[in-house]
Amino acid sequence: MPQKPMLVLGLMSGTSADGIDAALAHISGAPPHLHAKLLSHASFKFPPALRKEILRVAEQQPISAGELSQLNFRLGRIYADATLAACKKFRIAPRRIDLIGNHGQTIFHQGAPVSYLGAPTSSTLQIGEGSVIAARTGITTVSDFRPADIALGGQGAPLVPFADYVLYRHPKLGRVSLNIGGIANITVIPAGARPEEVFAFDTGPGNMLIDALVQHFTHGRQRFDKSGHLAMKGKIIEAFYKELRTDPYLRIPPPKSTGREYYGQVFFEKVLALGRKYHARPNDVIRAATSFTAGSIVDALKRFVFPRHKIDQLIISGGGARNAFVCALIAGWLTADNVRILYSKKFRIPVDAKEAFAFAILAYETFHQRPANLPSATGARRPAILGKISYAPPG
Ligand SMILES: Nc1ncnc2c1ncn2[C@@H]1O[C@H](COP(=O)(O)OP(=O)(O)O)[C@@H](O)[C@H]1O
Ligand SMILES: [Mg+2]
């Protein structure tokens, strides 16, 4: 059945809590002939006070039900304002946009069930009220994508693999899509793969640990290690790096997902303590964390991917793609593996727009009542139609 093309705005704010990436996409057709083209993208920083509160809450510091409710609506407004600002930047009237797909801000993610009040429970919470976005922008909004997958026994993550499959599958080339955000994750798309052959998982920290260390050592003057310059100036302390690599997460077989609950404050403090143990200077600690990030990605590829599939290309996206040192370490450690390293830009997807673009695609699928989780990636029992729809006010 032919389907009316749609203009969809994807909004992404990841675990780095740096702000919102917005991607406007023209999407038509239906899988396996879904066509998605990225038209423009923009990024917006969170106001500092909001960022601080998000990080505090995501680190599982106490918050009252009232504050959580307020934060949900406040964030909804921030996403709406980002949408309107993006429209202005793209010179497009909001009424011309058919749909918004908003990932929302993750403040809690427990993908695997744990005992809670006497019953095994997994759950996830992405906030940023969709009704507020729809009302303020006049654009129907899909939000809250992850719970439907968890409700079917999945981890609720990763969800981007569906978009990776749409965008990157190739009849002859085996490809891995690597997104380096706060957390780093990969999607493995073997040559000529069917959707059920795609698998994906979080490899470990992306920028999260590096960001936390840089902010700590610069007393908040720098938020991240631009291009990896600080790490590059650090000295390698082998024993320090080796001890970091004993992290048990790296050995857990996929599917697996992680977040700030694990690689946030607690892990950061562990790394600081190790730094003291090995008499490391600040840049040495940043270097160790940077090597650990790159090393955990390479390790995941060598341990869980290369033995099973021939991979020809690694396609990197996310803010971490701008950390030249992380990327150089990855490239260096993969030289013997015959994997060509590319950036998503090569596919006309700017590195900062990739995940927002993915949520535009997921929202389009939801709007058409089609599933967009890949059970092989999330562990769900069945495909699920993801998200909740907040309709634009009539008239
Ligand atoms: N020029 C740069 N050099 C190094 N790292 C960068 C640069 N620009 C962005 N980053 C990193 O990218 C992060 C944001 O990446 P992003 O993909 O938005 O992650 P998330 O999805 O977790 O929000 C920043 O916190 C920072 O660590
Ligand atoms: Mg971000």
Ligand 1 proximity of 15 Cβ (cutoff 6 Å): yes
Token pair of 24, please?
């406007």
The predicted model gives 333-356 an average pLDDT of: 98
Q: Tell me what pLDDT residue 1 has.
A: 53
Q: Whose CA is nearest to atom 26 of ligand 1?
A: 224
**Strand, helix or coil for residue 283:** helix
386 contacts 372 by C-beta, under 8 angstroms: yes
| Average pLDDT of the residues in 93-109 | 97
| Distance from C-alpha of 322 to C-alpha of 298, rounded to nearest angstrom | 17
Return the structure tokens found at 315: 């396609």
In whole angstroms, give the CA distance from residue 5 to residue 30: 10
224 Cβ closer than 6 Å to some ligand 1 atom: yes
- Per-residue pLDDT tens for 250-302? 999 998 888 898 999 999 999 999 999 999 999 999 999 999 999 999 999 99
Q: What is the Å distance from ligand 1's center to 15 Cα?
A: 10
Contacts of 7 (CB under 8 A, 6+ apart): 24, 25, 26, 27, 39, 92, 96, 97, 98, 99
Q: Ligand 2 centroid vs 275 CA: distance in angstroms? A: 27
Instruction: State the Cα angle at 365 between 363 and 368, rounded to 5°.
Output: 110
Does ligand 1 come within 6 angstroms of the Cβ of 319? yes
Q: What is the residue type of 251?
A: R
- Output the CA 172–ligand 2 centroid distance in Å: 32
pLDDT in tens, 79-88: 999 999 999 9
Q: Each residue of 203-251: pLDDT tens digit?
A: 999 999 999 999 999 999 999 999 999 999 999 999 999 999 999 999 9
Pocket test for ligand 1, best of 12, 322, 329 (most atoms within 8 A of CB): 322
Give the ligand 1 atom nearest the CA of 12. Answer: 21
- Identify whether the C-beta of residue 329 lies closer than 8 Å to the C-beta of residue 364: no
Q: Is the CB of 259 under 6 A from ligand 1?
A: no
Residue 185 Cβ inside 6 Å of ligand 1? The answer reads no
Handedness of CA 22, 364, 99, 58 (dihedral sign): negative
> How many Å apart are CA 15 and CA 106, to the nearest integer?
7
> What is the three-class DSSP state of 381?
coil
Q: What is the pLDDT of residue 256?
A: 87
Cα 337 to averaged position of ligand 2 atoms, centre (Å): 30
Q: What is the mean pLDDT of residues 29-45?
A: 97
Which backbone phi and psi does 265 adopt, to 5 degrees? -50, -45
Residue 2 has a pLDDT of: 58
Residue 320 CA: which ligand is closest? 1
Strand 313-317 relative to strand 175-180, pairing: parallel
pLDDT value at residue 137 = 98
Query: For ligand 1, what atom is nearest to the CA of residue 225?
Result: 4
Tell me if residue 288 falls in helix, strand or coil. Answer: helix
Are the beta carbons of 141 and 390 closer than 8 angstroms?
Answer: yes
The beta strand positions in the chain, using DSSP E, are 6-12, 19-28, 35-45, 99-102, 105-116, 119-127, 141-143, 175-180, 183-189, 199-205, 313-317, 340-343, 388-390
- Within 8 A by CB and 6+ apart from 29, the residues are 3, 35
Whether ligand 1 lies within 6 angstroms of the CB of 264 is answered as no
Atom of ligand 1 nearest to the CA of 318: 17
Token pair recorded at residue 235: 């000295």
Q: Tell me which amino acid residue 174 is.
A: G
Q: Evaluate: CB of 318 within 6 angstroms of ligand 1.
A: yes
> Per-residue pLDDT averaged across 320-327, rounded?
98
Q: Is 323 exposed, middle or buried (0-12, 13-18, 19+ CB in 10 A)?
A: buried
What's the rounded Cα separation, in Å, for the pair 343 and 178? 9
Concatenated DSSP letters for 310-368? ---EEEEESGGGG-HHHHHHHHHHTGGGT-EEEEGGGGT--TTTHHHHHHHHHHHHHHT
C-alpha closest to that of 112 among 283, 220, 258, 14: 258
- Regarding pTM above 0.85, the answer is yes
- Please tell me the distance between residue 355's alpha carbon and the centre of ligand 1 in angstroms: 12
Tokens of 92: 């497009």
Centroid of ligand 1 to alpha carbon of 311 (angstroms): 26
| Most ligand 1 atoms within 8 A of CB, residue of 13, 41, 207, 257 to mutate | 207
The C-alpha atoms of residue 194 and residue 32 are separated, in whole angstroms, by 10
